[in-house]
Amino acid sequence: MITAKYHQSETQIRGDAELVAAAKTDPHQFEGLYIKYYNQILEFTYARLDGKEEAFDVTSQVFLNALTNIHKYEHRGLPFSSWLYRIATNELNTYFRKTGKYRTVNIDTTALPEILHVMDTSDREEDQRRLIECMKKLSSSDYLMLEMRFFEERSFKEIGEIIEITENNAKVRTYRAIDRLKRLF
């Protein structure tokens, strides 16, 4: 069962909107948002990079860009974190372009049984090894969908918010990624 550990209540979203409004007039007020989201964004970048130092660098750039561009942020009823994740995705893409490195595939094996279940197969060790090899062959967008859904346990609504698509489109794209993974498997 996928839980929405990143999803926020309306009250939390409104609280972040108040922090953002304060940060727009006084940059020192951004500290509350930084403290609240730093670890989440660091985990997000670290899962996609080879080393911690690289993750720290990219995460720092994410928050620098967020602070610099906070005046451009428009509250649309979505969590502020979705905006940060979009910045993080863009920063990761910039990092990969500049360094010529490729996205790291860091697979948390605790989520593999759930993916195998969705694919109607067992969770035997042999199947898990095959699944890991097949996941490495997926396109980055397919992998991102599966990663956010199964490894980060995000709801379809959260996935849609982060990559700026509808909840239904996130669901469709995730199941298409599963279908492509099934064919590779």
CATH hierarchy code of domain 109-184: 1.20.140.160
What pLDDT was estimated at residue 89? 87
pTM of structure: 0.70
* DSSP collapsed to 3 states, the chain: CCCCCCCCCHHHHHHHHHHHHHHHHCHHHHHHHHHHHHHHHHHHHHCCCCCHHHHHHHHHHHHHHHHHCHHHCCCCCCCHHHHHHHHHHHHHHHHHHHHCCCCCCCCCHHHHHHHHHHCCCCCCHHHHHHHHHHHCCCCHHHHHHHHHHHHCCCCHHHHHHHHCCCHHHHHHHHHHHHHHHHHHC
**Domain spans in the chain, listed from the N-terminal domain onward:** 10-99, 109-184
pLDDT at 2: 41
Q: Write out the CATH class of domain 10-99.
A: mainly alpha
Model confidence pLDDT, tens digit, residues 52-100: 899 999 999 999 999 999 999 988 777 898 899 989 988 988 888 888 7
